[in-house]
Amino acid sequence: MEEIIEGYVDHIIYRNQDNGYTVACLVVDGEELTCVGTFQFLNEGENIRAKGHYTEHPSYGQQFSVYSYEAVIPQDSLAMERYLGSGAIKGVGAALAARIVKKFGEDTLRIIDEEPERLAEIKGISERKAREIAEQVEEKSDMRKAMMFLQQYGISQNLGAKIYQQYKQDMYRILKENPYKMAEDISGVGFKIADEIAARIGIHTDSDYRIRSGLLYILLQSTVEGHVYLPQKILLQRAEGLLGVKAQYMEKHIADLSIDRKIVLKEIETQAGKERIVYASQYYQTELHTAQMLHELNLKDTADDRVIQDKIRRIQKSENIELDEMQQKAVAEAVKNGLLIVTGGPGTGKTTTINAIIRYFEMEGLDIALAAPTGRAAKRMTEATGYDAKTIHRLLELSGMPEESSGGIYFERNAQNPLEADVIIIDEMSMVDIFLMHALLSAIVSGTRLILVGDVNQLPSVGPGSVLKDIISSGKFSVVELVKIFRQASQSDIVVNAHKINQGIPVSLDNKSMDFFFLKRYDANVIISVLITLIQKKLPKFVDAEPYDIQVLTPMRKGLLGVERLNVILQQYLNPPEKEKKEKEYRNGLFREGDKVMQIKNNYQIEWEVRGLYGIPVEKGVGVFNGDTGILREINAFAETVTVEFEERKFVEYSFKQLDELELAYAITIHKAQGSEYPAVVIPLLGGPKMLMNRNLLYTAVTRARKCVTLVGDENTFYEMENNRMEQNRYTTLDLRIKESY
């Protein structure tokens, strides 16, 4: 039953600064009462009126659970003294508050509001301090009024605080005229939230502000699909669906956005003729600048071919390796070109080639830097070369300091503070999106050699762009494709079958292999039962690994064999509930200590620490990235935090509010597995959307395994995927921008 109580805040027992969750002691009619709820601006000494209901806590007894509250202006001298002396007003303590109220009595708040200069009549208050006290009281009053105004429109206190801090008194005008401005100015407010607020305020659906904001929103959302631009025809179709406004009424707004430089309009040649395309300005400029920087790096060296070949022979002799013709060509091209792309599938000797290139430049006395997009890929690169490799983010020295122009990401290494290396080698280039490529190139000075290594047949980057593919298709740079499968690799059916899949050659599923198996099952629940048996009993001994190291890779998020359902089931078997394991329910799921989890969005500000012996921090930094996996080590219900240990003993603390950045990772999508390698992978296959279930996806899944691939499901789905060359088309034009720069 809902009740209303009124009292003053005697003291605050606990407050979570991130989400405003507060436990406070409220004095109601002379009796102390514990209140719990979300109080964004609650201060000790304040009078409040709260709605809620009484509950009985098993440990702490009776509490009042608050749904909503409002501040109440102090009515008597005692309440005013309590409020002013509570610490809510900076520079006013209990003694000074008592003197103010003694002097002005129940007229205190009116004096502060209307005649603040009179506060200087009190000993210890200068005219300047009098003004500061008045400003603070006014600010707090304004904030309360603002929160009450925002609550009329269903705006949460958290979001309300952000809106008020951004706009102050301009808030009222902006919300009534153009609430869509919030989508541009405030982190966490997208078009849809702004649109909901606008609807409550009464903004018309055909408002100019709404249409312009909606068009920009669609362009920015399309980057989730990997696009850098959209054809105008598709942009207008999507806008009609989102906004409920006819396309002909929106063309004027596209022209206006172009005049305001919010978007860039271009025409390109297609098979159907000329087509108008639309970029958000930031994405166009990023592609354009990336193309220009690639061009500037592409310097030619006049080194003597005979000298190069002589040094390659010496490397082969000293390293006891034999390079084939294309590998030797790759080393020579690395010497002769400022920019080189080396591409090839599994087992074609990319690592051997990288090692030979490193040895060549070591002989020349050059400084070499190695990097890859993910921690796992960088670790593999280090193990394969014996050379320290970093993630690209660490190479560029990611800082926690936000930068608006790049979506909250800032690198210490940039055009003003470039990398100090003569040669930079980047592996797993298919994972690098247009923004990370732009940041990398910005930190490389002309004259530095850049070598990009990757498999162009892998899935493209999670972020926007098709960087590796576009650089190759531009035809302006030296590209060496390694195609020969070496003898040792040719003994692995994982490697052989991956190449067959890529070439559309039927793969034998007779299970005569030692590392590639297909278990035919046709019922989703039977498939899941097989997955559990494989992970718990069969594969750990077979590949000499822990069950947690064996990864389930599935094509989809939804459905009977999608990530969401599989994770709930696998959690029950691989990390069952135990008395000593704490749990945290979140949205429709559950986290448990010991869970395998994955970061699902880039967080450039979150802090991590590497812990050494006895848990002592030995290194600190910032940034956890989409696809990073770890183990949930601790759930702290009192502090409302969870602690996750990622690879290389990196510990990260998340507030409960940040749990939307994590999800269970017993099963992950094949897309999320890019750049990672596991001792064994298990892949359930039982149909799915044709656009998704393609050769590209199957090839990427199979090549994630180091020792064993086991597919479980319908062999017809396997063959359909192998024969399906349809890939989701990405709208990118880096290749065109490169051609324009020549």
Binding-site sequence positions for ATP: 347-351
Determine contact, residues 134/100, Cβ cutoff 8 Å.
Answer: no
379/389 Cα distance (integer angstroms): 7
What residues pair up with 705 in beta bridges, in sequence order? 678
* Angle in degrees, 0-180, between the axes of helices 305-319 and 325-336, rounded to the nearest 10: 120
- Measured in whole angstroms, how far is the alpha carbon of residue 133 from the centre of its chain? 42
User: If you search the block for the tokens 């964004």, which residue do you land on?
Assistant: 40
Query: Are 117 and 127 in contact, with CB atoms under 8 Å apart?
Result: yes
For residues 481 and 350, is the Cβ–Cβ distance under 8 A?
Answer: no
DSSP 612: -
Around 535, how many Cα atoms within 13 Å sit in the side-chain half-sphere? Answer: 28
User: Would you say the C-alpha torsion 84, 86, 90, 95 has a positive or negative sign?
Assistant: positive
Residue type (1 letter), 199: A
What is the length of the chain? 742
Residue closest to 326 by CA, chosen among 358, 349, 359:
349
Structure tokens at 521: 């099952």
| Under 8 Å between Cβ of 586 and 659 | yes
Pairwise CA distance, residues 709 & 505, whole Å: 18
| For the chain, the helix, strand and coil percentages under 3-state DSSP, each to the nearest 5 | 45, 25, 30
Task: For residue 128, give the DSSP letter.
Answer: H
Instruction: Supply the DSSP string of 62-112, one letter for each residue.
Output: EEEEEEEEEEE---SHHHHHHHHTTTSSTT--HHHHHHHHHHHGGGHHHHH
From the list 607, 604, 585, the residue with the least C-alpha distance to 653 is 607
Please enumerate, by residue number, every residue annotated as part of a binding site. 347-351
Alpha helices in 396-482 (DSSP H): 434-442, 467-473
Q: What's the number of CA atoms in the CB half-sphere (13 Å) around residue 277?
A: 19
Residues 204, 179 contacting (CB under 8 angstroms): no
